[in-house]
Chains A and B, each alone.
Chain A
Amino acid sequence: MTSNTTSKPRLLQGNEACVAGALYAGVEFFAGYPITPSTEIAEGMSRELPKIGGKFIQMEDEIGSIAAIIGASNAGLKSMTATSGPGYSLMQENIGYAYMTETPCVIINVQRGGPSTGLPTKIAQADTMQARWGTHGDYTSITLAPSTVKGCFEEVVRAINLSERFRTPVSVLSDEVLGHMREMMIAPLPGEVEVFKRHKPDVPNEWYRHFEITPSLVGPMASFGDGYRYNISGLTHDEDGFPTAKPNEIKAKLDKLRNKIMRYVDEITRIRTEMMDEAHVAVISYGTVARSALQAVKMARERRIKVGAIQPLTLWPFPEQLIHDALKHVRKAIVAELNMGQMVYEVDRIAPRGCEVIHLGRYDGEIMTPQQILDKIREVVK
Chain B
Amino acid sequence: MHVQKLESEVIHQYLRPKKKFPNVWCAGCGNGIVMGALIRAIDSLDLDKNEVVVVSGIGCSSRMPVYLDFCTLHTTHGRAIAFATGVKVAKPRLKVIVITGDGDCLAIGGNHFIHACRRNIDITTILINNKIYGMTGGQFSPTTPGGKIGTTAPYGNYEKQFDPVKLAAGAGASYVARGTVYHAQQLEKLIAGGISKKGFAVIDCISNCHTYYGRLNKEGDAVAMIDWIKKHALNVRSAEGLPPEKLEGKFLTGLIHEHDGSEFCDEYQKLVESKGGTLK
Contact = CB atoms under 8 A, between A and B. Distances in A.
B86 A72 contact: yes
B93 A235 contact: no
Given A29-B90, A55-B268, A60 B111 contact: yes
Chain A interface mostly: mixed
Interface in B104-129: 111-112, 115
B86 A69 contact: yes
Given A71-B55, A229-B69, A94 B74 contact: no
A56 B171 CA distance: 22
B55 A60 contact: no
A228 B48 CA distance: 12
Most A CB within 10 A of own CB, among B16, B53, B72, B90: B90
B89 A243 contact: no
A67 interface: yes
Contacts of A53: 272, 277-280
B71 A230 contact: yes
Given A64-B112, A75-B87, A225 B82 contact: no
A97 B272 contact: no
A232 interface: yes
A74 interface: yes
Interface string A198-234: 0000000100000000000000000111111111111
A59 B86 CA distance: 10
A75 B277 contact: no
Given A67-B82, A67-B86, A97-B75, A224 B91 contact: yes
B53 A224 contact: yes
A358 interface: no
Given A64-B82, A67-B75, A231 B66 contact: yes
A311 to B, nearest CB: 35
A144 interface: no
Interface string B63-87: 0011001111111100100111111
Nearest to A100: B76
Interface string A49-65: 01111110101110110
Interface of B: 16, 18-20, 49-51, 53, 55, 65-66, 69-76, 79, 82-91, 93-94, 111-112, 115, 268, 271-272, 275-280
Interface of A: 28-29, 31, 50-55, 57, 59-61, 63-64, 67-77, 79, 93-94, 97, 205, 223-235, 238, 240, 242-243
